[in-house]
Amino acid sequence: MLRVIPLSDKAVLSTSILIDWDGVKFLLDAGPGITNEIYNRNLGLSKIQLVTISHSHIDHFWDLVPLLWMRRMLGHKGTVQIVCPENDIQLFEWCVKVSQAAGLANVTGIKPGERMEVSGLCIEAFEANHAKDQVCLGYMIYEQSRRKLRTEMLEKKGVPAELWRKLAEGKKVHFKGEDLNPEDYSIIKQRKVVYSGDTAPCKELDEAARNASLLIVEATFLDETYADMAHEYGHMIVSEAVNTAIRAKARNLLLTHRSLRHSVDEVRLEANKTIKHGSEDIELFVGLEPVTIQ
Protein backbone atom coordinates (compact mmCIF):
# COMPACT_ATOMS: atom_id res chain seq x y z
CA MET A 1 0.00 0.00 0.00
CA LEU A 2 1.18 3.52 -0.82
CA ARG A 3 0.34 6.14 1.82
CA VAL A 4 1.00 9.85 1.27
CA ILE A 5 0.92 12.16 4.29
CA PRO A 6 1.40 15.91 3.79
CA LEU A 7 3.28 17.24 6.81
CA SER A 8 2.86 20.89 5.85
CA ASP A 9 1.32 22.63 2.88
CA LYS A 10 1.72 26.39 3.26
CA ALA A 11 4.01 28.29 0.93
CA VAL A 12 6.80 30.28 2.60
CA LEU A 13 6.33 28.49 5.95
CA SER A 14 7.13 24.87 5.14
CA THR A 15 6.74 22.18 2.49
CA SER A 16 7.11 18.43 3.02
CA ILE A 17 5.36 15.20 2.06
CA LEU A 18 5.94 11.86 3.84
CA ILE A 19 5.45 8.76 1.69
CA ASP A 20 5.21 5.17 2.90
CA TRP A 21 5.58 2.97 -0.18
CA ASP A 22 5.04 -0.63 0.91
CA GLY A 23 7.20 0.03 3.97
CA VAL A 24 9.80 2.24 2.26
CA LYS A 25 9.51 5.66 3.90
CA PHE A 26 10.81 8.85 2.34
CA LEU A 27 10.31 12.60 2.28
CA LEU A 28 9.67 14.92 -0.61
CA ASP A 29 11.36 18.09 0.68
CA ALA A 30 11.97 18.82 4.36
CA GLY A 31 10.65 22.23 5.32
CA PRO A 32 10.85 23.83 8.79
CA GLY A 33 9.02 22.03 11.59
CA ILE A 34 8.51 18.65 9.97
CA THR A 35 10.87 16.76 12.30
CA ASN A 36 8.57 17.52 15.25
CA GLU A 37 5.56 16.49 13.15
CA ILE A 38 7.09 13.12 12.35
CA TYR A 39 8.26 12.51 15.91
CA ASN A 40 5.13 13.70 17.73
CA ARG A 41 2.80 11.81 15.40
CA ASN A 42 4.90 8.65 15.64
CA LEU A 43 5.25 8.45 11.85
CA GLY A 44 8.54 6.55 11.89
CA LEU A 45 11.48 8.94 12.17
CA SER A 46 13.87 5.98 12.29
CA LYS A 47 12.36 4.39 9.18
CA ILE A 48 13.03 7.24 6.73
CA GLN A 49 15.43 6.01 4.06
CA LEU A 50 15.35 8.82 1.51
CA VAL A 51 14.89 12.59 1.34
CA THR A 52 14.54 14.29 -2.03
CA ILE A 53 15.14 18.05 -2.07
CA SER A 54 13.64 20.03 -4.94
CA HIS A 55 15.66 23.23 -4.45
CA SER A 56 17.48 25.28 -1.85
CA HIS A 57 14.76 27.71 -0.75
CA ILE A 58 14.46 27.49 3.02
CA ASP A 59 10.83 26.34 3.13
CA HIS A 60 11.88 23.18 1.28
CA PHE A 61 15.00 22.00 3.12
CA TRP A 62 15.58 23.78 6.44
CA ASP A 63 14.56 20.84 8.66
CA LEU A 64 17.12 18.53 7.13
CA VAL A 65 19.55 19.48 9.93
CA PRO A 66 17.18 18.78 12.88
CA LEU A 67 15.93 15.62 11.13
CA LEU A 68 19.44 14.17 10.93
CA TRP A 69 20.39 15.50 14.38
CA MET A 70 17.33 13.93 16.02
CA ARG A 71 17.95 10.57 14.37
CA ARG A 72 21.52 10.61 15.64
CA MET A 73 20.50 11.64 19.16
CA LEU A 74 17.92 8.86 19.31
CA GLY A 75 20.55 6.33 18.25
CA HIS A 76 19.04 5.45 14.87
CA LYS A 77 21.72 3.71 12.83
CA GLY A 78 20.09 3.53 9.41
CA THR A 79 21.60 5.60 6.61
CA VAL A 80 19.47 8.28 4.96
CA GLN A 81 19.97 8.90 1.24
CA ILE A 82 19.64 12.61 0.41
CA VAL A 83 19.03 13.47 -3.23
CA CYS A 84 19.38 17.11 -4.29
CA PRO A 85 20.17 19.30 -7.31
CA GLU A 86 23.81 18.72 -8.20
CA ASN A 87 24.61 22.45 -8.13
CA ASP A 88 23.60 22.62 -4.46
CA ILE A 89 25.41 19.52 -3.21
CA GLN A 90 27.82 21.49 -1.00
CA LEU A 91 24.91 23.05 0.90
CA PHE A 92 23.42 19.67 1.74
CA GLU A 93 26.78 18.18 2.62
CA TRP A 94 27.03 21.09 5.07
CA CYS A 95 23.66 20.09 6.52
CA VAL A 96 25.02 16.61 7.20
CA LYS A 97 28.18 18.05 8.74
CA VAL A 98 26.51 20.48 11.15
CA SER A 99 23.99 17.83 12.23
CA GLN A 100 26.98 15.64 13.12
CA ALA A 101 25.45 12.86 11.04
CA ALA A 102 28.50 11.88 9.00
CA GLY A 103 28.22 8.16 8.34
CA LEU A 104 24.45 8.28 8.83
CA ALA A 105 23.60 10.15 5.61
CA ASN A 106 24.75 10.07 1.99
CA VAL A 107 24.27 13.06 -0.31
CA THR A 108 23.86 12.52 -4.03
CA GLY A 109 23.58 15.38 -6.50
CA ILE A 110 21.37 14.76 -9.50
CA LYS A 111 20.73 16.56 -12.78
CA PRO A 112 17.49 16.79 -14.76
CA GLY A 113 17.01 13.57 -16.73
CA GLU A 114 19.17 11.48 -14.41
CA ARG A 115 17.78 8.61 -12.38
CA MET A 116 18.82 6.41 -9.50
CA GLU A 117 17.40 3.47 -7.57
CA VAL A 118 16.71 3.50 -3.84
CA SER A 119 15.18 0.51 -2.04
CA GLY A 120 13.72 -0.87 -5.27
CA LEU A 121 12.16 2.42 -6.35
CA CYS A 122 13.36 4.43 -9.33
CA ILE A 123 13.89 8.15 -8.66
CA GLU A 124 14.08 10.34 -11.77
CA ALA A 125 14.61 14.10 -11.74
CA PHE A 126 13.19 16.65 -14.16
CA GLU A 127 13.67 20.40 -14.37
CA ALA A 128 10.97 22.64 -12.94
CA ASN A 129 10.39 26.25 -13.97
CA HIS A 130 10.73 28.17 -10.72
CA ALA A 131 13.81 30.32 -10.12
CA LYS A 132 15.97 31.93 -12.79
CA ASP A 133 19.18 31.79 -10.75
CA GLN A 134 19.18 28.11 -9.73
CA VAL A 135 18.23 24.62 -10.85
CA CYS A 136 14.92 23.51 -9.36
CA LEU A 137 13.87 19.89 -9.66
CA GLY A 138 10.72 17.84 -9.65
CA TYR A 139 10.82 14.08 -9.13
CA MET A 140 9.19 11.01 -10.61
CA ILE A 141 9.17 8.00 -8.29
CA TYR A 142 8.00 4.71 -9.72
CA GLU A 143 8.24 0.98 -9.20
CA GLN A 144 8.94 -1.90 -11.56
CA SER A 145 5.81 -2.84 -13.47
CA ARG A 146 3.96 -5.90 -12.23
CA ARG A 147 1.39 -8.14 -13.89
CA LYS A 148 -1.94 -8.64 -12.13
CA LEU A 149 -4.00 -11.60 -13.31
CA ARG A 150 -7.66 -11.27 -14.19
CA THR A 151 -8.53 -14.17 -11.92
CA GLU A 152 -12.26 -14.02 -12.57
CA MET A 153 -11.63 -14.64 -16.30
CA LEU A 154 -9.30 -17.56 -15.57
CA GLU A 155 -11.75 -19.12 -13.14
CA LYS A 156 -14.64 -18.75 -15.58
CA LYS A 157 -12.59 -20.42 -18.32
CA GLY A 158 -11.58 -23.22 -15.95
CA VAL A 159 -7.84 -22.64 -16.29
CA PRO A 160 -6.08 -24.69 -13.58
CA ALA A 161 -4.13 -22.78 -10.94
CA GLU A 162 -0.82 -24.35 -11.95
CA LEU A 163 -0.96 -22.44 -15.25
CA TRP A 164 -1.65 -19.10 -13.57
CA ARG A 165 1.96 -18.64 -12.49
CA LYS A 166 3.21 -18.86 -16.07
CA LEU A 167 0.69 -16.26 -17.18
CA ALA A 168 1.74 -14.06 -14.25
CA GLU A 169 5.33 -14.36 -15.49
CA GLY A 170 4.22 -13.10 -18.90
CA LYS A 171 4.43 -16.51 -20.58
CA LYS A 172 1.97 -17.93 -23.09
CA VAL A 173 0.24 -21.18 -22.00
CA HIS A 174 -1.61 -23.90 -23.92
CA PHE A 175 -4.97 -25.01 -22.53
CA LYS A 176 -7.58 -27.25 -24.20
CA GLY A 177 -6.14 -26.71 -27.67
CA GLU A 178 -5.93 -22.94 -27.25
CA ASP A 179 -2.99 -20.61 -26.74
CA LEU A 180 -3.68 -18.20 -23.90
CA ASN A 181 -1.77 -14.92 -24.10
CA PRO A 182 -0.89 -13.22 -20.80
CA GLU A 183 -1.97 -9.85 -22.25
CA ASP A 184 -5.54 -11.14 -22.52
CA TYR A 185 -5.74 -12.40 -18.94
CA SER A 186 -3.80 -9.80 -16.99
CA ILE A 187 -3.16 -6.11 -16.64
CA ILE A 188 0.15 -4.33 -16.12
CA LYS A 189 0.25 -2.22 -12.98
CA GLN A 190 2.87 0.35 -12.07
CA ARG A 191 2.42 2.99 -9.40
CA LYS A 192 4.03 6.32 -10.17
CA VAL A 193 4.15 9.42 -7.98
CA VAL A 194 5.20 12.76 -9.48
CA TYR A 195 6.19 15.72 -7.32
CA SER A 196 6.52 19.10 -8.98
CA GLY A 197 8.35 21.09 -6.31
CA ASP A 198 7.82 24.81 -6.94
CA THR A 199 7.16 25.57 -10.58
CA ALA A 200 5.26 27.57 -13.14
CA PRO A 201 3.58 25.51 -15.88
CA CYS A 202 6.17 23.79 -18.09
CA LYS A 203 6.41 20.99 -20.65
CA GLU A 204 8.82 19.03 -18.42
CA LEU A 205 6.14 18.69 -15.75
CA ASP A 206 3.52 17.76 -18.35
CA GLU A 207 5.74 14.96 -19.64
CA ALA A 208 6.72 13.69 -16.19
CA ALA A 209 3.13 13.66 -14.93
CA ARG A 210 1.76 11.54 -17.78
CA ASN A 211 -0.41 8.68 -16.42
CA ALA A 212 0.74 9.31 -12.84
CA SER A 213 -1.00 7.37 -10.08
CA LEU A 214 -0.62 10.54 -8.03
CA LEU A 215 0.47 14.02 -9.04
CA ILE A 216 1.60 16.21 -6.14
CA VAL A 217 1.71 19.69 -7.54
CA GLU A 218 2.02 23.20 -6.22
CA ALA A 219 -1.00 25.47 -6.48
CA THR A 220 0.30 28.57 -4.74
CA PHE A 221 -2.24 31.15 -5.91
CA LEU A 222 -5.99 30.88 -6.27
CA ASP A 223 -7.15 32.22 -9.62
CA GLU A 224 -6.52 34.52 -12.60
CA THR A 225 -6.45 37.54 -10.28
CA TYR A 226 -3.02 36.34 -9.13
CA ALA A 227 -1.74 34.92 -12.44
CA ASP A 228 0.82 37.66 -13.11
CA MET A 229 2.22 37.37 -9.60
CA ALA A 230 2.33 33.60 -9.84
CA HIS A 231 4.31 33.61 -13.08
CA GLU A 232 6.64 36.38 -11.91
CA TYR A 233 7.74 34.19 -9.00
CA GLY A 234 7.63 30.85 -10.80
CA HIS A 235 4.40 29.47 -9.37
CA MET A 236 0.97 28.33 -10.55
CA ILE A 237 -2.63 29.24 -9.96
CA VAL A 238 -5.05 26.44 -9.07
CA SER A 239 -6.55 26.00 -12.55
CA GLU A 240 -3.07 25.61 -14.09
CA ALA A 241 -2.19 22.90 -11.57
CA VAL A 242 -5.47 21.06 -12.18
CA ASN A 243 -5.16 21.34 -15.95
CA THR A 244 -1.69 19.85 -15.73
CA ALA A 245 -3.23 16.79 -14.09
CA ILE A 246 -6.03 16.64 -16.66
CA ARG A 247 -3.61 16.78 -19.60
CA ALA A 248 -1.46 14.11 -17.99
CA LYS A 249 -4.45 11.86 -17.22
CA ALA A 250 -3.27 11.55 -13.62
CA ARG A 251 -5.60 9.45 -11.49
CA ASN A 252 -5.14 11.34 -8.22
CA LEU A 253 -4.16 14.96 -7.58
CA LEU A 254 -2.79 16.50 -4.38
CA LEU A 255 -2.55 20.29 -4.36
CA THR A 256 0.04 21.78 -2.01
CA HIS A 257 2.20 24.88 -1.38
CA ARG A 258 -0.87 27.03 -0.74
CA SER A 259 -0.39 30.76 -0.29
CA LEU A 260 -1.29 32.15 3.14
CA ARG A 261 -3.78 34.37 1.29
CA HIS A 262 -6.07 31.44 0.55
CA SER A 263 -7.94 28.86 2.62
CA VAL A 264 -8.12 25.14 1.90
CA ASP A 265 -11.84 25.47 1.13
CA GLU A 266 -11.17 28.22 -1.43
CA VAL A 267 -8.55 26.10 -3.16
CA ARG A 268 -10.82 23.05 -3.22
CA LEU A 269 -13.73 25.04 -4.65
CA GLU A 270 -11.57 26.55 -7.39
CA ALA A 271 -10.04 23.17 -8.23
CA ASN A 272 -13.42 21.45 -8.46
CA LYS A 273 -14.65 24.11 -10.90
CA THR A 274 -11.75 23.32 -13.22
CA ILE A 275 -12.15 19.56 -12.82
CA LYS A 276 -15.86 19.78 -13.63
CA HIS A 277 -15.09 21.47 -16.94
CA GLY A 278 -12.15 19.24 -17.83
CA SER A 279 -12.36 15.76 -16.31
CA GLU A 280 -14.25 14.11 -13.50
CA ASP A 281 -11.95 11.08 -13.46
CA ILE A 282 -9.45 12.74 -11.13
CA GLU A 283 -9.73 12.31 -7.37
CA LEU A 284 -8.79 15.56 -5.67
CA PHE A 285 -6.92 16.06 -2.39
CA VAL A 286 -6.04 19.47 -0.94
CA GLY A 287 -3.71 20.65 1.79
CA LEU A 288 -3.11 18.13 4.56
CA GLU A 289 -5.47 15.45 3.27
CA PRO A 290 -3.72 12.02 3.22
CA VAL A 291 -3.83 9.87 0.10
CA THR A 292 -3.88 6.08 -0.07
CA ILE A 293 -3.19 4.12 -3.25
CA GLN A 294 -3.39 0.34 -3.45
User: pLDDT tens, position by position, for the chain (294 residues)?
Assistant: 999 999 999 999 999 999 999 999 999 999 999 999 999 999 999 999 999 999 999 999 999 999 999 999 999 888 999 999 999 999 999 999 999 999 899 999 999 999 999 988 999 999 999 998 899 999 999 998 777 778 888 888 888 888 888 877 778 888 888 888 878 877 777 899 999 999 999 999 999 999 999 999 999 999 999 999 999 999 999 999 999 999 999 999 999 999 999 999 999 999 999 998 766 789 999 999 999 998
Residue 278's pLDDT is 67
Residue 155's pLDDT is 85
Residue 117's pLDDT is 94
Residue 196's pLDDT is 97
Residue 272's pLDDT is 95
Would you identify the CATH topology of the domain 2-144+190-293?
A: Metallo-beta-lactamase; Chain A (3.60.15)
Residue 146's pLDDT is 75
Residue 179's pLDDT is 86
Residues of the chain with CATH 3.60.15.10: 2-144+190-293
Decide: residue 85, CB within 10 A, 0-12 exposed, 13-18 middle, 19+ buried. Answer: buried
Nearest Cα to Cα of residue 253 among 273, 231, 232, 275:
275
What pTM value is reported for the model?
Answer: 0.88
CA atoms of 30 and 7, how far apart (whole Å): 9
The 8-class DSSP code of residue 15 comes to -
By DSSP bridging, strand 121-127 and strand 115-118 are antiparallel
